[in-house]
Amino acid sequence: MAATGGVGKPIAHVRRDAEGNWAEPQGLEEHIKGVATCAEHFSLTFGNGDWGRVAGLWHDLGKYQPAFQEYIRKSSGYENDAADEGGPGRVDHSVVGALWAAERFADYSPEIGRALGYLIAGHHAGLPDWSHEIGIGGALGDRLKDRSNLVDALSATPPDALLKIDSPITSPCGRAPSLENDDIMRESMHLWIRMLFSCLVDADFLDTEGYMDPRRTLTRGAEMKGLLEHKRQFDDYMAKKTAKAQQTPVNIVRAKILAECRSHAEWEPGMFSLTVPTGGGKTLSSMAFALEHAIKKGKRRIIVAIPYTSIIEQTAKQYRDIFGDDAVLEHHSNFDPDKETEHSRLASENWDVPIIVTTNVQLFESLFASRTSACRKLHSLVNSVIILDEAQMLPPGYLQPIVSVLKGLTEMFGASVVLCTATQPVLSGKIESGKALLKGFAPGSVRELMTDPSGLAKTLKRVELRRHPKGDEAVSWEEIAGELATLHQVICIVNTRKDCRTLYDLLPEGAIHLSALMCPEHRSEVISGGKGIKARLARNGPLRVVSTQLVEAGVDIDFPVVYRALAGLDSMAQAAGRCNREGKLNNLGKLGQTIIFRPPKEAPSGLLRKGQDAGSEILRCFPKDVAELNPEVFKRYFELFFRKVNSFDAKGIMRLLSGPDIDELKIQFRTAASRFSLIENAGQKAVIVWYERAASEQHRALSSADLIAQLEKEGPDRGLVRALQRFAVNVPVHAIDTLKSDGSIRELRGMDGLYAQNVAKLYDPVFGLRLEGPNLSALDFIA
């Protein structure tokens, strides 16, 4: 049975109802106007509603082509609607609106047509490059040379009310060009176009979803509380927490930090730093600032970005305990298929909740992305408060584009950004490293929320950081294991997963292993479960833990002794933050002990090695300042470390996005996106492992294997994808290839580039995912 809707009435989408019959198609003009209204609403938040409206009205002009209408009437559902760049058998509809914009404004302002062209031509396949790059494809400059699709669409006589509309007249973010802001506007034009693109694709997805799945649309934003209500929840939580807390010296200082954050929330929006020693309560204090600041300055939502996927769950859980599950989105997995489908796009996150906890990878790679599903959420950053937790973890090779985009967010899109850490990096002014130059934030533009960070460090001194008796001499793992075995409670943090496994194998029975090869659900149980680390610490039972650096931020565990393999000073200081965290030893007239040792093998070459070398030099030259963890010593460390960095824009991102052709809006969006990868040795994929604990309230009774089966049967939806994050392990591509070739993992049906465990014993109850393959015995081969 063909889709109905009447001959001559152009349609946008078709679907089947619950009984499998064709429902009334969605009219094309209805869809176009719905998208235009929504895109205008989104882009009004930064003063460019007229741009959103025009992009929405023209984004699907190509669907007026007779060939497209014939194609969609013969299609078996909206999955086949994802025509993108005119591949074999496809009708290229997305280029038509771009061609019309270029033609319409050719004489008046070619740049207007070009800006709209990026949005419209990319609204399915993603923002294109202007010029062709080998291996990238889809260059806008090339696609605008062929008018045939536009001629076909115009032959169907689309309504003049859609075609003959006025040009957008507002300037980017409503800013009039001037000597003062011209540089930031030029540098941020790619961000402005990406924000408009975000408005368009989110509007398109939402309108499509409204037709395809009205029930899902009704659940978006249901019973969503405002930030004012969340502030009330937060205040109630803190009042109860304070009433129960003992008046220890540490808690007294935490209360002062909280009060100072709240008192400075009235400062004008922009860049802030929050320099608080580890264990000083910055997770809650930064949220207090964000809530107060958002309410006083009219901000819309709060985004908390954390460096590691492996530590995000604790922060998200703490916020959910305060604000409720529906108010907090935990978004971190790289659970995105290689090839997007309409299903995967509609299931992608648009951050339409008040509080988001995410990772640096998810945040910054989205800010430089070209794909629709990654860009969809970006307009939610407008007029928001962004907390960058552990800001020292921002990768040096990408610092210039990151600093640039943070300037753009604060100066053009009304965001406030908080650089939150105990070990503040030096990011203001000009920083030189040989030929490399970092153009940081303007001197004085980053305002510190604490009046006296150095005084705080002295008041909160709970640990002594010192070198191992062997000093610069390497210490064998056998020696370290012997020393750990003599201690009642100790954690040893090492630089690599291999070192972690080696040391664990040398420890007495009952030791605990932690690494990022364990899925988040597994790690949470090991840290916070009834028999986990926190419970054993609370019972004062014997406990020896060996971990990679995943515990160095966002994990509030408290050991009397910490061993740390030599690393960057920031990592060593973060390790010290797991030592005597609550100051219990201070009450006994003692300090916690953090011992720094040189491991048998140096840190891997690259930034880890450079950090280790700079940390070793600072340890030798400023032992007293290091022992005191004086904030000033971290400035010396980062100045030394940055001098060892080869480039602050290692992949040439700035030239691709704001190079010499930026005045003509010739931007290489897709090439820049392909190069911007915060994880070294780019190319990690998510593997969903078999683990039996449930992931969420909604999926409480389901194991990961059940969720995998549901995903393959029903396709992705936001709740299911969120649940599966808890069972995902990120794996390098070379390991993926090996595991796939021997059948240990398989690609998920309908989800190109996403994988699931396929054989038993591939996931170890101690070590997590076995990259070397399943741990099989002879008995496993007996039928």
Given a cut of 60, whether residue 94 has pLDDT beyond it is yes
Tell me how far apart the alpha carbons of residues 581 and 250 are, in angstroms, rounded to a whole number: 9
In this prediction, residue 531 carries a pLDDT of 87
Q: What does the pLDDT average to over 540-545?
A: 95
Among 2-11, 252-261, 565-574, the range scoring the smallest mean pLDDT is 2-11
User: Between residues 180 and 438, which one has the greater pLDDT?
Assistant: 438
Given a cut of 50, whether residue 88 has pLDDT beyond it is no
Confidence category of residue 716, pLDDT binned at 50, 70, 90 = confident
In this prediction, residue 702 carries a pLDDT of 63
Given a cut of 60, whether residue 81 has pLDDT beyond it is no
483-527 confidence digits (pLDDT tens): 999 999 999 999 999 999 999 999 999 999 999 899 988 998 999
CA-to-CA dists, residue 421 to 270, 424, 429, 570, 637, angstroms: 17, 6, 19, 10, 15
Q: What does the pLDDT average to over 694-700?
A: 45
In this prediction, residue 556 carries a pLDDT of 83
CA-to-CA dists, residue 51 to 398, 459, 506, 707, angstroms: 30, 53, 63, 41
In this prediction, residue 77 carries a pLDDT of 45
**Cβ within 8 Å of residue 723, ≥6 positions away:** 695, 696, 698, 699, 702, 707
Give the residues across from 329 on adjacent strands.
356
453-483 confidence digits (pLDDT tens): 999 988 889 999 999 999 989 999 999 999 9
Given a cut of 90, whether residue 45 has pLDDT beyond it is yes
Given a cut of 70, whether residue 75 has pLDDT beyond it is no
In this prediction, residue 234 carries a pLDDT of 96
Here the tokens at position 659 are 């190079």
By percentage, how much of the chain surpasses pLDDT 90?
A: 59
**Cβ within 8 Å of residue 397, ≥6 positions away:** 607, 645, 646, 647, 648, 649, 650, 651
Helix 49-58, helix 110-121: angle, nearest 10: 60
In this prediction, residue 223 carries a pLDDT of 45
Q: What does the pLDDT average to over 724-731?
A: 87
Q: Sort strands 302-306 and 430-433 into parallel, antiparallel or unpaired.
A: unpaired
Q: What does the pLDDT average to over 29-35?
A: 96
Given a cut of 80, whether residue 63 has pLDDT beyond it is yes
In this prediction, residue 102 carries a pLDDT of 94
The whole-chain average pLDDT of the chain stands at 87
CA-to-CA dists, residue 743 to 551, 757, 774, 779, angstroms: 32, 9, 10, 19
Distance of CA 751 to the CA centre of its chain: 21
Given a cut of 50, whether residue 681 has pLDDT beyond it is no
Q: Compute the C-alpha angle 642/646/650, nearest 5°.
A: 110
Give the other-Cβ count within 10 Å of 104's Cβ.
Answer: 18
Confidence category of residue 782, pLDDT binned at 50, 70, 90 = very low
Q: What does the pLDDT average to over 552-558?
A: 82
Burial class (CB in 10 A: 0-12, 13-18, 19+), 617: middle
In this prediction, residue 1 carries a pLDDT of 36
Q: Are 516 and 537 contacting, i.e. CB atoms less than 8 angstroms apart?
A: no
Tell me how far apart the alpha carbons of residues 317 and 333 are, in angstroms, rounded to a whole number: 16
Question: Among the residues of 587-692, which ranges form H helices?
Answer: 607-621, 623-628, 631-643, 653-658, 669-675
> Is the dihedral angle over the CA atoms 40, 46, 50, 51 positive or is it negative?
negative
In this prediction, residue 92 carries a pLDDT of 84
Which of 153, 217, 183, 197 minimizes the C-alpha distance to 48? 197
**Cβ within 8 Å of residue 645, ≥6 positions away:** 396, 397, 433, 436, 607, 610
Confidence category of residue 722, pLDDT binned at 50, 70, 90 = confident
Given a cut of 90, whether residue 649 has pLDDT beyond it is yes
Among 71-85, 278-292, 711-725, the range scoring the smallest mean pLDDT is 71-85
Confidence category of residue 328, pLDDT binned at 50, 70, 90 = confident
Q: What does the pLDDT average to over 348-352?
A: 79
In this prediction, residue 14 carries a pLDDT of 87
Tell me how far apart the alpha carbons of residues 153 and 64 are, in angstroms, rounded to a whole number: 5
In this prediction, residue 485 carries a pLDDT of 96
Confidence category of residue 342, pLDDT binned at 50, 70, 90 = low
In this prediction, residue 344 carries a pLDDT of 47
In this prediction, residue 79 carries a pLDDT of 41
In this prediction, residue 222 carries a pLDDT of 45
In this prediction, residue 221 carries a pLDDT of 53
Tell me how far apart the alpha carbons of residues 344 and 78 are, in angstroms, rounded to a whole number: 12
214-264 confidence digits (pLDDT tens): 777 665 654 457 899 999 999 999 999 999 888 888 899 999 999 999 999
The pTM of this model reads 0.86
In this prediction, residue 779 carries a pLDDT of 42
Name the phi and psi angles at 723, rounded to 5: -65, -40
CB-facing half-sphere around the CA of 331: CA atoms within 13 A = 25
